[in-house]
Amino acid sequence: MQLSERFYKERKLEHLVENQTSYTLNNAAMHVFETHLQAERVLLQFDQPVLASMLIGKKVMHLRDKKAFDFLPGESLILPSNEMMCIDFPEADQDNPTRCLAMAISDEKIRRVIGLMNETMPKHDGSEWAFVDYNFHFTNDASIYGIIQRLLYLFTENHPSKDFFVDNMLQELIMRILQGSRKKTIGENASKLAGHNRLAYTIDYISTHLHENLSVGELSKKACMSESHFHKTFKEELGVTPIEYINSERIKMAVKLLQDPNKKIKEIYLECGFENRSYFNRLFKRKIKASPGEYQSKFMG
């Protein structure tokens, strides 16, 4: 991610180890931390829910009820209010600082967005949208990446309407995070939830039939919904269309299969349910940033 020239001009050295540059608006505050020396067990806490995103370098995070894990560029972490973070900086140095974004979002803003979601796009199973009350660690998809990049620009921009601009972006960010959390929960527990959740049933069905020709019409029948209602419900709750979800799962499967250097690419894309190699190549490169052949070559002796 790119930081603006304004950021570099306004940052201030807080102490020898770290720069902290902060921008505060009505419903959120953005802090960019630059750590210049290796350190261990650094404690950090915010009194509001926080989106943390790695920009450059590596952290090792120690959080409650979770094993220590690497926190890398392209990844984000949602933390509830007053959650204590314990952080190691194993690679930071003066010339290559570790750089991380922490965006604290007001509880009131989050409550308003959740209320809007429950009013206008209620879940099909009758449960209500709620803010994640655990440590949700995820890889940014293109939409989340784009929003964070835009917010980085807006917070540092000198514009009289930036509070309004940021407010709109925060609404989309919160909605997409909740949809991503919902997708992860249903995806990881599909077989357990399949008996009483229609989307979980179709997700479970997709996972065991990726090699087959899957259509929205067929899946909507499995969910006992009309095709239009199924498509709308799937997109609103999981943040992606059924076809986008299927393609994403097929690419994940292809990534695993390509780690075997003896498998033919044609064999792999057919096994993953793709009928057309050029379509497979295009989707794979868009998501993995390398062609299937380039990716497989990494595993050749």
Q: Provide the CATH number for the domain formed by 5-184 in this structure.
A: 2.60.120.280
Using the predicted structure, report yes or no on whether residue 168 has a pLDDT greater than 50. Answer: yes
**What digits encode the pLDDT tens for the residues 224-262?**
999 999 999 999 999 999 999 999 999 999 999 999 999
pLDDT recorded at residue 112: 97
pLDDT recorded at residue 65: 79
- The pLDDT of 22-46, averaged and rounded, is 93
First-residue to last-residue Cα distance in the chain: 33
pLDDT recorded at residue 15: 47
Chain position carrying tokens 């979601």? 117
pLDDT recorded at residue 8: 53
pLDDT recorded at residue 16: 46
Using the predicted structure, report yes or no on whether residue 7 has a pLDDT greater than 70. Answer: no
Nearest to 61 by CA among 75, 47, 81, 82: 75
Strand partners, 280: none
**What digits encode the pLDDT tens for the residues 68-106?**
999 999 999 999 999 999 999 999 988 889 999 999 999
Instruction: Tell me the residue type at 103.
Output: M
Look up the CATH architecture of domain 244-297: Orthogonal Bundle (1.10)
Q: Which residues contact 27 (CB under 8 A, 6 or more apart)?
A: 105, 106, 108, 109, 163, 166, 167, 170
pLDDT recorded at residue 6: 62
Q: Tokens standing for 235?
A: 């997109």
**What digits encode the pLDDT tens for the residues 58-71?**
999 999 878 999 99
The reported pTM is 0.87
pLDDT recorded at residue 13: 42
Taking a C-beta distance cutoff of 8 angstroms, is the pair 1, 147 a contact?
no
Chain position carrying tokens 């979800």? 245
Taking a C-beta distance cutoff of 8 angstroms, is the pair 273, 212 a contact?
yes
Q: Tokens standing for 81?
A: 């209010």
Distances, alpha carbon 46 to alpha carbons 102, 139, 154, in Å: 9, 22, 22
Using the predicted structure, report yes or no on whether residue 206 has a pLDDT greater than 90. Answer: yes
- The pLDDT of 103-116, averaged and rounded, is 96
- DSSP letter at 3? P
Q: Tokens standing for 44?
A: 């950090």
Taking a C-beta distance cutoff of 8 angstroms, is the pair 273, 218 a contact?
no
- The pLDDT of 162-169, averaged and rounded, is 96
Q: How far apart, in whole angstroms, are the C-alpha atoms of residue 220 and residue 15?
A: 58
Between residues 99 and 13, the one the model is more confident about? 99
Q: Which residues contact 185 (CB under 8 A, 6 or more apart)?
A: none
